[in-house]
Amino acid sequence: MKRLIAATLPLALAACGVIPLPSQRIGDFEVTLPPSRPDASIVVYTKENRFADTTIPTVFSRVQLSGNAVYSGLGTVSRADVYVRPSLPSATEACQDLGAYFVCDATAETANRIGSLTLGANRSGLFSLGGPSLDVAAKNRQGYFGVRLLEGESWLFDKLLLRNVTASARL
């Protein structure tokens, strides 16, 4: 009986997603922000797939991203929500293709929100992001990041920089 328990306990723990796995560096990236105000209720998505080169197996769950966030520019952005889509928007969705990025209605993007950032001009702040849409994006190796400004304004060419980004997951 003890052998049966010893043999099945790791499987039961794995099924619950409680075994942490080593972190994987996924690289730095940035989101160039269009001029915006926090009352715009839009999410700005990049068109770059940030998970194309990752190797997170499909059996992993509860994917978390962590690193340093820096707001760079002339604007006053101090708080932002972060989103991730597992695919680019289709023509039927409430989004506009503006060349370098997509702009989507924030009310339709609630399920894609993975966390918030507290920012300061050219200051680094730690972040940790996670959620079901991040799990799907990481497992499918297809994820497009977006930002919604909550406080402050961005100016032309302002950027949100995510540095030293690592992904961790559980088995």
- Please report the DSSP string for 20-81 in residue order: B---EE---EEEEPPSB-GGG-EEEEES--TTTT----TT-EEEEEEEEEEEESSS---EEE
Q: In whole angstroms, what is the distance from residue 53 CA to residue 105 CA?
A: 29
Mention every residue, 6+ apart, whose C-beta is less than 8 A from residue 44: 31, 33, 34, 36, 101, 102, 103, 146, 147, 148
What region does 27 belong to: left with phi over 0, alpha with psi -120 to 50, or beta? left
Per-residue tens of pLDDT for the chain, all 171 residues: 444 444 444 444 444 456 766 777 877 888 888 787 666 789 989 888 887 777 666 666 788 899 999 999 898 888 999 999 999 888 777 898 888 888 999 999 999 999 999 987 777 789 999 999 998 988 888 999 999 999 888 898 898 888 998 888 776
- Give me the half-sphere count of Cα atoms (radius 13 Å) on the Cβ side of residue 134: 20
Instruction: Give the closest residue to 79 by CA, choosing from 41, 118, 44.
Output: 118
The answer to whether residues 96 and 135 touch, using CB atoms and an 8 Å cutoff, is: no
Which pTM value belongs to this model?
0.82
How open is the CA angle 94-98-99, to the nearest 5 degrees? 135
